A and B are shown apart, each in its own frame.
Chain A
Amino acid sequence: MMRVFLILFAFAWRNIWRNWRRTLITLLVVSIGVWSILTFNALIRAWSDSSLKGSLKNMTAQIQIHQKGYLDNPDMMHHFGVNKALQAVLEGPDISHWAPRVRIPAIVQSEYKTLPVSLVGIDPAAEVGVSFIADSPIQGNRLQNSQDSGVLIGRHLAKRLNTRLGKRLVIMANDAQGKVKERGVVIKGIFSASQPLEDGLLFIGLKPAQQFVHAGHQLSEIALMTNRQPGMVATMTRLKATAPKLDIQSWQTLEPMTKGIHDLTDGFIYVWLWVMFVLIAIGVVNTQLMAVFERTREFGLLQALGFRPNWVTLEVLLEAAQIIGFGVLLGALSAYLTVLSLKGGISLESLSAGADFLGIGRVLYPRLDMQELLVTVVVVWGLGVLTALWPARRATRFNAIEAMRST
C-alpha cells in the first residue's frame, strides 16, 4: 500500500501543475485564508490581552478578597482581618503578588471644588506587580511606604480641583463606626493614567488610611495575582476553603465588560476561522471538480489499465492535500512573518480616547500562539482534504468505458 501511495503521490504532484495558473490561484486562496485567520487571531488576541492586562492593572487584579457585603456597600463597616491561615495562603506558592488595601468612598475638597473619589490606602511595595500605581508616570514623588501620609492624586482630578503639587486637600469619609471623619493631606505626587483612574482614585499610605477610619489593622480588600500553576481557578478554590466567610471574586465577576470582550474575541476568532475555511473549501472543491471534469476520460483510461477505483479517489485526494498543504504552510509562514514585523507593537495613540474607554492599552502587541498556529494548520489542512472527498468520489462515478466515451 505504501508503494502505491508513493506512486500516486508523485503522480498527483505532476497533475497539480498541469494547469499551473489554476493551481497557483487555489494556493493563493488557501494561503491568504490561513494568513488572515492567524493574523486576525493575533490582532484580536493582542486587543483582548491588552484589555485584560489594562483591566487587571487598574486596581482589579486577578482575584479580590472582601468582607461579604462590601461590593454592594464599599464602606469601612465591611472590613476584615488577615488570620494566619489566610496569611499562609497569601504568602504561599500559588500567589505571585498580593496587595492589602483600605478602599472607601470619600470626598476630596480643594479651595475651589469638592469632588467624590475612592480613597485607597496602599502599601506601595505590595502594589508592584498588582496595580498600575507602582509604575505609572508620576509628577512629584511616589508614596515611600505604607506609613506615608502624603497623597497621590490623578492628573485630571488635580486639574478639576484646580490644585497642584504641595497643596493641601481635605478628605472626608465615614469611619468604621459610621462617623464622618475629615483630615488634611498634602499632595505628594500627581499620577498619570487613564482618565477614569485619574478622576476616581486618591492614594495614601495604608497605615494613615487605617488610622483615619479607625480601622486598626483591618482591610477593605486584598487584590492578588496568581502564578501560572496551579492557576487562578485552583487558587480561588483554595482561598475560599481557607476563608469561607469572606467574599472572594475573580476579575471575571468584577469586570464583566472585560470578560465580555474576552469572550467576544474568542467568538470572533472562531467565526472568522469558519468563514475563511468555507471560502477556502469552496475554492478547493471548485478547483478539484474542474480538474476531475476535465480528466474524466483519463480516469476511465486509468481504470481500464488497471487502476483500482479507490486509487483514483486517493490520487484526487492527494492532489487536494498537496495544494492545500502548500497553501497552508505558505499562509502560516506569512502570518508568522507579519506578526514578527509587528513585534514592536501597533500604536493606538491616534485612537487614545477610544482605547482608554475600552480599557485597552495604547500599544497593541500581536502574538501568535504556536499551539493555535499548529491547530489552525492541521484543522484547515485536514478539513480541506475532507471537502475534496466529494470531487474525489465523483472521479469514479462513471465506469471506465463511460468515462472514456465522454468528451
Chain B
Amino acid sequence: MNAILQCKHLIKKYHQGDTTVNALRGVDLSFNKGEFVAISGPSGSGKSTLLHIIGSLEQPSDGEVILDGMPLFNHSKQELADLRLNRIGFIFQAYNLIPVLTAAENIEFLLQLQGVDAKTRRARSTELLHQVGLDGLGERKPGQLSGGQQQRVAVARALSNHPSIVLADEPTANLDSKNSDELLALMSKLNEESQVTIIVATHDPKVISHTKRHIVLTDGRVDTDECKAV
C-alpha cells in the first residue's frame, strides 16, 4: 500500500532557558490509507508532539513530514492553515466546539470556509449527525449537550471536510467509561466505512484495544510498532 503520511527522522527540541528538552529524537514512521493507529507512551514520550507536528501545528527542529506526497513544511502559515482546513481533521481532548454555533453549524463550519454550498453542507451535517448517533440534536448548542455528545459532534466535525487523516489527541480523557466505549466504537465504525486514516495519541488501554496498529514511543523514539491481526 502507498503511504498516505510519512514521517522522516523527525526531531523536535524545546529550549527552556539553558535547558533543552528533546521531545522527539528521530522518529521514522509511515501511515497507510484506512489505518486506525494508536500512539502511546508515558508522559513526556512525545506522542502529542508527534501528533502536533503531523497536524502542522508545530514545526520540527529537523526531519520531514510528507502528506499525500507533499512535504508539509515548505509552506507559509496561510498555506498550512488551508492544508489543515482541507486535508486534516482534529479531535481534541476537551471537545473544543465553538459555543456560539449549534452542533450542525459546528460540523458545517469548515465546509462553509471551504466554499461548499448551503444545501450540500446541510446534507453532509445531517448525514454525519446520523452516523454519530445524534439525529435530531443538530440545533442544540454545545452547552446543551453532554460531554459524550459534544465529543461525537467533534468527531463529526473532524470528518466533515473529507480529510486525508484524522488526528485525535486523548479523545476519551474527559469521558466516562460508557461514553468512551461508545466513542471508540463509533471511531472504529467510521474508520471501516469511510477508510479515513485515524491516528490517536493516547495512554488509555481501551483506545489501544480498538485500534489496528499500536506504536509505542519512549523518550522521543519509536520503541515498538505492531500491527494487530484482523
Contact = CB atoms under 8 A, between A and B. Distances in A.
Interface of A: 3-4, 7, 11, 14-15, 18, 297-298, 301-311, 399-401, 404
Interface of B: 52, 55, 57-58, 77-78, 81-86, 90, 92, 96, 98-101, 109-110, 112-113, 115, 157
A301 B86 contact: no
Contacts of A311: 81
A399 B96 contact: no
B78 A306 contact: no
A14 B78 contact: no
A17 to B, nearest CB: 8
A125 to B, nearest CB: 73
Nearest to B96: A301
B113 A7 contact: yes
Nearest to A7: B112
Nearest to A12: B100
Contacts of B99: 18, 298
A4 B109 CA distance: 11
Given A7-B113, A304-B92, A306-B85, 18 more contacts: A3-B115, A7-B112, A15-B100, A297-B96, A302-B98, A304-B55, A304-B84, A305-B110, A306-B83, A306-B110, A307-B81, A308-B78, A308-B81, A309-B81, A310-B78, A399-B57, A399-B58, A400-B57
A308 B82 CA distance: 7
A306 B98 contact: no
Given A3-B115, A14-B101, A304-B55, A309 B110 contact: no
A402 to B, nearest CB: 10
Contacts of A308: 77-78, 81-82
20 contacts: A18-B100, A298-B98, A298-B99, A301-B92, A301-B96, A304-B55, A304-B90, A305-B85, A305-B110, A306-B82, A306-B85, A306-B113, A307-B81, A307-B85, A307-B113, A308-B78, A308-B81, A308-B82, A309-B77, A309-B78
A404 B81 contact: no
A301 B90 CA distance: 9
Contacts of A302: 98
A404 B86 contact: no
The 9 closest A-B pairs by CB, nearest first: A306-B85, A14-B100, A308-B81, A306-B84, A301-B96, A308-B78, A400-B57, A401-B57, A306-B81
A404 B81 CA distance: 16
Contacts of B90: 304-305
A301 B81 CA distance: 12
Nearest to A295: B99
Nearest to B106: A305
A321 B55 CA distance: 33
Contacts of A307: 81, 85, 113
A311 B113 CA distance: 11
A298 B99 CA distance: 9
Nearest to B98: A298
Nearest to B99: A18
A401 B56 CA distance: 10
Nearest to B93: A404
A7 B110 CA distance: 11
A407 to B, nearest CB: 11
B122 to A, nearest CB: 15
Contacts of B82: 306, 308
Contacts of B85: 305-307
Nearest to B76: A308
A310 B110 CA distance: 16
A305 B89 CA distance: 7
A14 B99 CA distance: 10
A303 B100 contact: no
Given A4-B113, A7-B113, A400-B57, A305 B84 contact: yes
A48 B96 CA distance: 59
Contacts of B98: 298, 301-302
B73 to A, nearest CB: 14
A400 B57 CA distance: 7
A308 B81 CA distance: 5
A7 B85 CA distance: 15
A404 B96 contact: yes
Contacts of A304: 55, 57, 84, 90, 92
A370 to B, nearest CB: 38
Contacts of B78: 308-310
A310 B83 CA distance: 15
A15 B85 CA distance: 21
Contacts of B112: 7
Contacts of A401: 52, 57-58
Contacts of A297: 96
A96 B99 CA distance: 67
A18 B82 CA distance: 28
A14 B142 CA distance: 14
B86 to A, nearest CB: 7
A304 B77 CA distance: 11
A184 B172 CA distance: 113
Contacts of B92: 301, 304, 404
